[in-house]
Amino acid sequence: MYIIVDDRESVTNSYVVGLVREGVSSIGFSSGEFWDWLQSASESDLAAVDAFLLGDCDARGSLPRAMRKRSSAPIIAMSGQKMLKNTLELFESGVDDVVHVPIHLREILARTAAIARRRVGDLPRPCESRIQVFFNGRDPEIAGHALTLPRRELRILEYMVANHGKWITKTQIFNAVYGIFESTFDESVIESHVSKLRKKLRDRLGFDAIVARRYVGYRLNIPAGETIDVPMQELDEVGILLNTARAAPAPAAYPAGN
């Protein structure tokens, strides 16, 4: 789940709509609303946050450090001013990255994934020898071939790859896919999504990659020794993700915001 903090309601709404279109749950707060939520949010709710997007608000200079005290999720500042002084001030406030608007949402997703990779190191996860997930809306690849998935199944796979080998509950998956503020759907929808994803992975891999255990949850379990026939593309530069032939045509950017 992405949290957008901006005192301009039209801007937060634009990002929320765009992220949902990309299959990523999100919610927008004004700086005052966000501060109240941050102080009272539970650890499980904070664990469901993929990134904070910090826009134009009065408290932008002080919020990043308050966020970091409660969460390790990436903090990305979105600035409408392409000035070195402004950029340096944002980094000094404690953000992980600064982007200048307008910007495509897939670039934000890719930057979030890059920050997460740097924090855990550049070594591939055990499952990445068979499944490559890009965390930017692009179709995952198995043995070098794209696997087209509906957006919610893709989000579940991303979450499972990020937590490879760990047991994750249905609630955790629901929060990652639908967000912690979703009340329209019931957690039981996760069982259907995982069942469909599990079958598609089994058809491609030849074995059950997702282990399910009643009252415990699900675990992505791919043997570390498994290899593929086609070498995986290196992903050291975010630009590689954004300029491959498989990337979608350039859609509208988000947003300059006045």
Give the residue-averaged pLDDT of 249-253.
Answer: 52
Residue 116 pLDDT greater than 90, yes or no: no
**One-letter amino acid for residue 240 of the chain:** I
Q: How many CB atoms lie within 10 A of CB 129?
A: 17
pLDDT given at position 234: 35
| pLDDT higher than 60, residue 186 | yes
Chain-centroid distance of CA 220 in Å reads 18
What integer pLDDT is reported at residue 81 of this predicted model? 87
Confidence grade of residue 82 (pLDDT, cut at 50, 70, 90): confident
More confident residue, 15 or 120: 15
Among 31-35, 135-139, 246-250, which is the least confidently predicted range? 246-250
pLDDT band at 185 (very low <50, low <70, confident <90, very high): confident
In the chain, the N- to C-terminal Cα span, in Å, equals 25
- In this predicted structure, what is the pLDDT of residue 184? 79
pLDDT at 199: 95
The mean pLDDT of 112-130, rounded to a whole number, is 67
Q: Is the pLDDT of residue 258 over 60?
A: no
Residues 79, 86: Cα–Cα separation, whole Å:
8
Contact yes or no for 74/96 (Cβ under 8 A): yes
- In 3-state terms, what secondary structure has residue 11? helix
Pairwise CA distance, residues 165 & 15, whole Å: 32
pTM: 0.68
The pLDDT value given to residue 233: 38
For residue 211, which phi and psi values (nearest 5 degrees)?
-100, 130
- 77 token code pair: 């500042």
Q: Considering the chain, what percentage of its residues have pLDDT values greater than 70?
A: 83
Which pLDDT value is given to residue 209? 92
Confidence of residue 90 (pLDDT cuts 50, 70, 90): very high
Q: d(Cα 257, Cα 9) in Å, to the nearest integer? A: 10
Look at residue 137 in the predicted model and tell me its pLDDT.
79
Helices (H) and strands (E) in the chain, counts: 10, 10
CA 56 to chain centre: 22
The answer, yes or no, to whether residue 228 has pLDDT greater than 60, is no
Closest by CA to 53, choosing from 17, 73, 78, 36, is: 78
Question: What is the per-residue pLDDT for 256?
Answer: 60
Token digits for 215? 């009252």
